[in-house]
Chains A and B, each alone.
Chain A
Amino acid sequence: MSFHAPWLLALLAIAIPTIFTFLHHKQAQRRQAPSLLLLAQLQTVPNKSPRGLTLQHWLALAISLLALAALTLVSAGPQAREKSATTVWLVLDNSASMAAKDRHGKTRFERALRHAQTHIIPSLDPRTKVGLVLLAPTARVQVEASPIGPALLDALELLSHAPPQAAAAGAHHALPLLEPRCEAGPPQQTLAILLTDAAYPWPESITSACQLELELFTDDANNLAISALSAKETDALGQQRIYVEALNTSDAPREAEIALSLDGRRLDPPLKLTIPAKQRANKTITLDLAHGKRLSAQLINAPKDLNALTQDDARTITLTPSPRARVLLITSSEESYIANALKLHPRVALTQAAPNTKLNAQAPVDLLILESPTSAKLPPARRTWAIEQAVEQLGVKRLTAQARPKISATAKHPINEHLKLDKLTITQAHALNHPGATTLWADGPYAWALAWQDEAKDQAYFATGFHPERSDLVLRIAFVNLIANLVEWSIPTSKAQAPQDAKAIIAQAEADRATQAESWLAPQRGPITAAQTTPDAPTQTSSSPLLSWAKEHLWRLIILLVFALLCVESALSWRTHTPWRRSR
């Protein structure tokens, strides 16, 4: 068994003062006094049998120590290898890229070899059969699987004197070699550990009879890379917001020059980024680019000694139009303000229908706007905006409101972003009564609800007790923002999931590769941050290594701190309240 944070095991030392306190207070509390005349008047402790008390407190100590051990082990993050795995194949990447040196002067290959010798092999059950596969110059089985013995250890020792060499393929090409061996063994009992820098194109998918485990050796090398490139359409005229992010793994800040090109045609001037040590930096620029073209970002003028990998120096994406929101507006007005506003929105595919029009109930829409009530069967919609008269279709009850109410408060909600509706004058409005609703979107005077936002049956709706046209909202920029927010609210978005382990990283890398035809970024060890996956990330991401380390281990530290306090508290309570042995 190995640990994710083995240093935390040192905190088992908390047990020493706990035991010391227990023993110390068990024996030392005896003394003589001039007289018991006064002390005898103090309230004495109930007379319990000394044996029972001792047993009780030994048990308390044992439970505390067990709990401490359990919490420490959990905090240290045990990484139990599959004990059921009776055969382990070490797939050691000895390709040329593994000769890249880190800042300590050690090659990735040396580190991978040492990791296998000092961590992987000692952690295995002695009865486990271990085999060795090398990649360069071609994938081959160097040592057949056998119980750990001189053959394997000598082979590993010999490899320490053999420099990496050019390889024909990546580490995953060793898997076909292992397939028959994995299939021959009991199911799920053969483990293949890939020790590699993954500096080669990764396959679309990996299917193997072996259990796979990936050990990456890339982080410590001095490297510059383009870690993210994305584009987002900002209007219908072809304006794109380009997000470029670069990574620096060296110990010093670096200047990076990134050339952008569109279908091979260079866009000048190149972007210049100053990347802090061991961090990422990004830049967002806005360009007029047509859809369907391929945008590439390429690191240029990167010094070789600072750029261990060249495979991650470029990224290419295809500029695709952003998804459109399918909006169905049901209105009796031919000159609807809402319709006109939606027509101007670049990402809206608008369908306008009169209330008595027969609708295609099978065609789902993203946003259904009920400006007028209708008796027609409505198509399924992810989002619905019901205005004034139509709110009763959603089960929201209208109440008569005073004339010319004003909005007194608005809730925090995506629909409400960049809106300032305070003191909006409305000529005619209804208060809305909907006890089941969860988010009061806008409030009138005397606690009237003027708008609700709620979700029912997997459909979110937004009900307003007033029509924008019967207020001065349509005269404000807030109206455009409201429409824009509603469109954004209705467009389905996929949230990026931060992968937590190597397999998830592989899956993420595969997903990345599916969208990038020409280059592929070597998967990074550790979770992919939001900055990598979210195009509209802040323009500068920087955090100190200490801070990120603290964030990563904070919960462990908190658990241990709490438990340490509990130990001290219980020790003190033994000392102050608990007799260890009754006097005879």
Chain B
Amino acid sequence: MRLDLEAFKQIGALKLKLDELASGQLQADRRSARRGRGMEFADYREYQPGDDLRLVDWNIFGRLDQLLVRLFHEDVNMTVHIALDATASMAFGEPTKADYGATLAGALAIIGLKNQDHVTLSCLGGRGPRNIAKGHNMQAFGSFTQLLEQTTPASDTALAKVIDDQLSQKRLDRLVLISDMLQPAEVNALTLRALARRAKGAALIHVLSQEELNPNLDSPTHVTDAETGQTLLIPGGAAAKAQYQKILAAWLEQTQQQCRSLGLGYMRVSTQDPLVGMLTQTMRRQNLTMSAHGAAP
């Protein structure tokens, strides 16, 4: 993971956007469905013994001779889960999709932690001493970087199953999957359905490298699948290139369409794209981030 100081400053001014009510446990600045202490007035109810007298609206008592207690929306933090695909296919590209995805995951974690969100980061598949890190402030960031640096892409993992296994049963506020989605179409559909099921606002960040976008098809080549070990003879030449571009475009369109139909956010990024621009502009356009101060960063 590599973030320079300037990028760090820029993403520090961001905040994960949540259109719905937050469901965190700790007090923070996101509106929740619970009534309690907060800044924003929600409703009145009749005073009951034991209520804090500071919450009684004395003006109303003076006018109407009724004891009413003011209720506020309780401000809590949000629960964010960042899932990083660490299967073997992510080890390709320059930089590798795994590196790019780890940097992206780290940046999202920083955004969440700085805003006291409850952030969980998990690596799906891959090889490392552990596969999950969580925290709600920047003090926990060390464990995130440790996880990201110690995990190396490996093996072939069905993402849908891992998501079901690793994620808590409680519905999350935000779930972001960073993956290349190079798995069979039916598995992709299962994965996206699992995402939609697990969170109120889920999004897929589709990371692709030049290996996928513009592979070297100049000559016939024996290509070995990094995950399955299967080898195929791929024809080369201009016709093969053109055919591949059609297949790629259809696949991307299909993935995006599936996300749209499930209400998932979808962002396609190339490992060649600058990271800061992606966080500050692309994600903002996709309603994933916003300015922490209410203005555009």
A binds B: yes
Q: How far is the CA of A125 from the CA of B215 in the complex (A)?
A: 60
- Per-position binary interface string of chain A over residues 140-183, scored 1 when its CB falls under 8 Å from any chain B CB and 0 otherwise: 00000000000000000000000000000000000000000000
- B75 contacts across to A, CB distance below 8 A: none
Instruction: From known contacts A34-B89, A34-B211, infer whether A39 and B223 are also in contact, taking CB-CB under 8 Å.
Output: yes
A32 sits at the interface (CB 8 A): yes
Q: Are B243 and A43 in contact (CB under 8 A)?
A: yes
B234 sits at the interface (CB 8 A): yes
A111 sits at the interface (CB 8 A): no
Q: Are B223 and A45 in contact (CB under 8 A)?
A: no
Instruction: From known contacts A43-B235, A577-B237, A583-B231, infer whether A31 and B223 are also in contact, taking CB-CB under 8 Å.
Output: yes
Contact of A42 among B88, B183, B228, B235 (CB under 8 A): B235
List B residues 156-188 near A (Cβ within 8 Å): 180, 182-184
Q: Are A31 and B224 in contact (CB under 8 A)?
A: yes
Contact of B92 among A34, A576, A577, A578 (CB under 8 A): A34
B21 sits at the interface (CB 8 A): no
Of the candidate stretches B105-113, B117-125, B126-134, B244-252, the one touching chain A is: B244-252
Q: Are A35 and B222 in contact (CB under 8 A)?
A: no
- Per-position binary interface string of chain B over residues 199-230, scored 1 when its CB falls under 8 Å from any chain A CB and 0 otherwise: 00000000001011001101111111111101
Given A29-B219, A38-B248, 20 additional A-B pairs, CB 8 A = A29-B220, A29-B222, A30-B224, A31-B224, A33-B223, A33-B224, A33-B225, A35-B180, A35-B182, A35-B227, A37-B184, A45-B233, A575-B219, A575-B236, A577-B220, A578-B220, A581-B222, A582-B233, A583-B232, A584-B231
Q: How many A-B residue pairs have CB under 8 A?
A: 106
Closest Cβ–Cβ distance, residue A171 to chain B (whole Å): 63
Which residue on A lies nearest to B235, using beta carbons?
A45
- A579 contacts across to B, CB distance below 8 A: 220, 233
- A43 contacts across to B, CB distance below 8 A: 235, 240, 243
Is the interface on chain A under 10, 10 to 19, 20 to 34, or 35 or more residues?
A: 20 to 34
Question: Could you list 29 A-B pairs, sorted by A, with CB under 8 Å?
Answer: A29-B221, A31-B222, A31-B224, A33-B215, A33-B226, A34-B90, A34-B91, A34-B182, A34-B226, A35-B183, A35-B212, A35-B225, A36-B228, A36-B230, A36-B232, A38-B182, A38-B212, A39-B232, A39-B234, A39-B244, A42-B247, A43-B235, A44-B234, A45-B233, A576-B218, A576-B236, A579-B220, A582-B233, A583-B231
List A residues 23-65 near B (Cβ within 8 Å): 25, 29-45
Q: Are B92 and A33 in contact (CB under 8 A)?
A: yes
Contact of A25 among B90, B215, B219, B230 (CB under 8 A): B219
Max chain B Cβ within 10 angstroms of own Cβ: one of A29, A42, A45, A584: A42
Q: How far is the CA of A39 from the CA of B221 in the complex (A)?
A: 11
Which residue on B lies nearest to A44, using beta carbons?
B233
List A residues 295-345 near B (Cβ within 8 Å): none
- A578 contacts across to B, CB distance below 8 A: 220
Q: Are A45 and B226 in contact (CB under 8 A)?
A: no
Q: How far is the CA of A40 from the CA of B92 in the complex (A)?
A: 18
Max chain A Cβ within 10 angstroms of own Cβ: one of B209, B222, B248: B222
Q: Are A30 and B222 in contact (CB under 8 A)?
A: yes
Q: Are B220 and A45 in contact (CB under 8 A)?
A: yes
- B251 contacts across to A, CB distance below 8 A: 37-38
- A41 contacts across to B, CB distance below 8 A: 247
Which residue on A lies nearest to B216, using beta carbons?
A31
Q: Are A37 and B221 in contact (CB under 8 A)?
A: no
- A39 contacts across to B, CB distance below 8 A: 215, 223, 232, 234, 244
Max chain A Cβ within 10 angstroms of own Cβ: one of B90, B225, B227: B225
Closest Cβ–Cβ distance, residue A576 to chain B (whole Å): 5
- B247 contacts across to A, CB distance below 8 A: 38, 41-42
Which residue on A lies nearest to B93, using beta carbons?
A34
Q: How far is the CA of A579 from the CA of B234 in the complex (A)?
A: 9
- B89 contacts across to A, CB distance below 8 A: 34-35
Is the interface on chain B under 10, 10 to 19, 20 to 34, or 35 or more residues?
A: 35 or more
Which residue on A lies nearest to B182, using beta carbons?
A35
Q: How far is the CA of A500 from the CA of B91 in the complex (A)?
A: 71
Q: How far is the CA of A577 from the CA of B239 in the complex (A)?
A: 11
Q: Are A42 and B224 in contact (CB under 8 A)?
A: no
Q: Are A31 and B220 in contact (CB under 8 A)?
A: no
Max chain A Cβ within 10 angstroms of own Cβ: one of B209, B232, B243: B232
Q: How far is the CA of A381 from the CA of B265 in the complex (A)?
A: 101
- B226 contacts across to A, CB distance below 8 A: 32-35
Q: Are A33 and B235 in contact (CB under 8 A)?
A: no
Which residue on A lies nearest to B246, using beta carbons?
A41
Closest Cβ–Cβ distance, residue A570 to chain B (whole Å): 14
* In the A-B complex, the 10 residue pairs with the closest CB atoms: A35-B182, A34-B89, A34-B92, A36-B225, A583-B231, A576-B237, A33-B223, A583-B222, A29-B221, A30-B222
Max chain B Cβ within 10 angstroms of own Cβ: one of A30, A33, A578, A582: A33
List A residues 535-584 near B (Cβ within 8 Å): 575-579, 581-584
- A575 contacts across to B, CB distance below 8 A: 218-219, 236
Q: Are B232 and A40 in contact (CB under 8 A)?
A: yes
Instruction: From known contacts A32-B224, A33-B92, infer whether A583 and B244 are also in contact, taking CB-CB under 8 Å.
Output: no
- Per-position binary interface string of chain B over residues 55-85, scored 1 when its CB falls under 8 Å from any chain A CB and 0 otherwise: 0000000000000000000000000000000
Closest Cβ–Cβ distance, residue A31 to chain B (whole Å): 6
Contact of A38 among B97, B230, B244 (CB under 8 A): B244
Q: How far is the CA of A43 from the CA of B244 in the complex (A)?
A: 10
- B227 contacts across to A, CB distance below 8 A: 34-35
Q: Are B212 and A34 in contact (CB under 8 A)?
A: yes
Which residue on A lies nearest to B252, using beta carbons?
A38
- B93 contacts across to A, CB distance below 8 A: 34
Q: How far is the CA of A299 from the CA of B224 in the complex (A)?
A: 84
- B184 contacts across to A, CB distance below 8 A: 37
Closest Cβ–Cβ distance, residue B255 to chain A (whole Å): 11
Which residue on B lies nearest to A37, using beta carbons?
B182
Instruction: From known contacts A36-B232, A42-B243, A44-B235, infer whether A30 and B219 are also in contact, taking CB-CB under 8 Å.
Output: no
Q: How far is the CA of A44 from the CA of B223 in the complex (A)?
A: 12
- B220 contacts across to A, CB distance below 8 A: 29, 45, 576-579
- A583 contacts across to B, CB distance below 8 A: 222, 231-233
Q: Are A36 and B223 in contact (CB under 8 A)?
A: yes
Q: How far is the CA of A42 from the CA of B233 in the complex (A)?
A: 10
Closest Cβ–Cβ distance, residue B23 to chain A (whole Å): 36
- B248 contacts across to A, CB distance below 8 A: 38
- B211 contacts across to A, CB distance below 8 A: 33-34
Q: Are B92 and A42 in contact (CB under 8 A)?
A: no
Q: How far is the CA of A252 from the CA of B251 in the complex (A)?
A: 76
Which residue on B lies nearest to A35, using beta carbons?
B182
- Per-position binary interface string of chain A over residues 49-86, scored 1 when its CB falls under 8 Å from any chain B CB and 0 otherwise: 00000000000000000000000000000000000000
- B234 contacts across to A, CB distance below 8 A: 39, 42, 44
Closest Cβ–Cβ distance, residue A463 to chain B (whole Å): 62
Q: How far is the CA of A33 from the CA of B93 in the complex (A)?
A: 10
Q: How far is the CA of A220 from the CA of B153 in the complex (A)?
A: 77
- B182 contacts across to A, CB distance below 8 A: 34-35, 37-38
Instruction: From known contacts A29-B221, A583-B222, infer whether A34 and B180 are also in contact, taking CB-CB under 8 Å.
Output: yes
Closest Cβ–Cβ distance, residue A24 to chain B (whole Å): 10
Q: How far is the CA of A44 from the CA of B234 in the complex (A)?
A: 6
- B216 contacts across to A, CB distance below 8 A: 31
Closest Cβ–Cβ distance, residue B49 to chain A (whole Å): 66
